[in-house]
Amino acid sequence: MLSQREYEDLLWKINHIPSTITGKKRHNLRTTFKKKLHEHELATKYPPFEPLKFEQYFINFRTTDSTLIHLIDQIKSTSVFTLDTESILIPYRPNAPALIQVQIILSESFSSVVLIEMCHLPRAHEHTFTLVKQFFQTLFNTDKNIFIWGAISELHNFCSYNLFTYEQLDLCNPINLQDAFKTHWNTQHPHQPTTSASTNYSECICEECLGFQKKKTWSLQNAVAFELSRWLDKRQTTSNFDIGLDPTLYHFNSAEIAHRQSLIRYAVYDCLSMQQIMLKLKLIERQESNINPSNEIITATVNDLTNIACDDDQHDLQATNNFEPISPADIQDASTPRQQQTLTKAERHRIHNRTCTLKQRKRYYKTEIIISNIDRRFTIKNIKEIIKSYGVPFSAVNFSTSSTTRKRSVHIGMRNSSQINDYQHRIDHLFTTSHYNRFINDRRTYRSSNKR
């Protein structure tokens, strides 16, 4: 939000563009000023957009195979998604594709948002790359309804990364939410002519009275403002989305992490705001879910698996499909309620598996040791190996990351609750940065001695 002085300065600049700036440059400069002014007006009028609960993932060269398998299973378990893309500006050249955001809508109140970092993908010969291709192959399927604020053609430039093909894009079922919203608004808000007796000239909110051209499409920001009465921050529109957003991708300082967090929030909120518009337009049914019963937003990085690692086995959490399939024809009659379809045998089986997995997870973590602020370079495998060396019996190990401080904690499910104080005393000093450095040095020393 601009200060009063900045606001007045911006108004002055709009009306006093130097006469020496002409043509396209003048038009672009005026457009930039107007966008900043519009951003300020929305930020002043509406409260910030607030998302529903979600879980955040990154796909890049550090993503584990188990994370990708878990995400593929989530895609298989539902039929409703949102998708968006981000590109970077290159002077005198077309924009370069940098990021794909996919929201896997598991219920009305909970979803997974996946950020695929195109400039930081695994190498093509690696198995992880094959799993990323499988992720898109599972998504771009005729039984998946993918809502996009625009056309599926915005993905064409991303085909150069060899994760999917033009033919696969032709097979999927994209739904242009931007067009659907324009149709909805014009249907719900026809022009209301004012009479000479009327003293209120702000009652009509048709496109023309709002100052929108009939042939122009709605921006997502305007749709969120007028339909949800929220301000969707779009100040990061032309940012460098290719720098590596995952905070575990490289070693970043606090300023670099803060900058990346603002870019992540921008990218994620585009998908999450589309979801709320879909709910408002009744394009998907409102249903509660027990998938994530907590009130806390969970933010998972590449190693923050939501599946449980029990000894050497991994139990992937299965999601429940709580939405009816949607076809483009349904949009024409979005206001008509649809009846819930009877669950198929396969869907009932998934729900049963999900329930069993949650019960199993609760049992594994009935008694646990939590070690906070650990070094992010420790993997699940490292931690399990170290815990075993200290003679501590455990049933499961998992990570969690604070959505505010970004600090990581490790959760260790215990088999023997009677000696938990003793076990905690043995290991609660571990997994710090100094411990990681000693751990790596010991490994190098061990390997060097074996080579002699």
**Which residues is 97 bridged to in the sheet?**
87
Quote the pTM value: 0.62
Find the angle CA(103)-CA(270)-CA(47) to the nearest 5 degrees: 125
Instruction: Write the CA distances from 416 to 313, 364, 381, integer angstroms.
Output: 19, 11, 21
Residues 73 and 65 sit within 8 Å (Cβ to Cβ): no
The residues, ordered by sequence, that sit 6+ positions from 97 with a Cβ below 8 Å of its Cβ are 85, 87, 118, 157, 158, 160, 161
Task: Give the separation between CA 308 and CA 359, rounded to whole angstroms.
Answer: 12
Helix and strand counts by DSSP (H, E) for the chain: 14, 12
How do the pLDDT tens digits run along the chain, 452 residues long? 666 676 666 677 667 678 788 887 777 777 777 677 777 788 888 999 999 999 999 999 999 999 999 999 999 999 999 999 999 888 778 889 999 999 999 988 899 999 999 999 999 999 999 999 999 999 999 889 999 999 999 999 999 999 999 999 988 889 999 999 999 999 888 888 766 555 555 578 888 888 887 778 899 999 999 999 999 988 887 788 999 999 989 888 889 999 999 999 999 999 999 999 999 999 886 544 433 333 333 333 333 333 333 333 333 333 333 444 444 344 444 333 334 445 666 666 666 666 666 566 566 666 888 898 899 999 999 999 999 888 888 888 888 877 667 788 888 888 777 788 888 888 888 999 989 988 888 877 767 666 65
**325: nearest Cα among 101, 153, 81:** 81
Other Cβ atoms less than 10 A from the Cβ of 314: the count is 16
Tokens of 126: 């690696």
Sign of the C-alpha dihedral computed for residues 114, 161, 133 and 274 taken in this order: positive
**382: nearest Cα among 397, 372, 367, 369:** 397
Residues 33 and 14 sit within 8 Å (Cβ to Cβ): yes
Is residue 369 classed as helix, strand or coil in its secondary structure?
Answer: strand
Sign of the C-alpha dihedral computed for residues 113, 257, 302 and 388 taken in this order: negative
Task: Give the separation between CA 181 and CA 229, rounded to whole angstroms.
Answer: 15
Side chain identity, residue 71 = L
Tokens of 238: 């032309």
DSSP string, 63-89: --HHHHHHHHHHHHT--EEEEEEEEEE
**54: nearest Cα among 288, 260, 271:** 271
Find the angle CA(84)-CA(158)-CA(138) to the nearest 5 degrees: 70
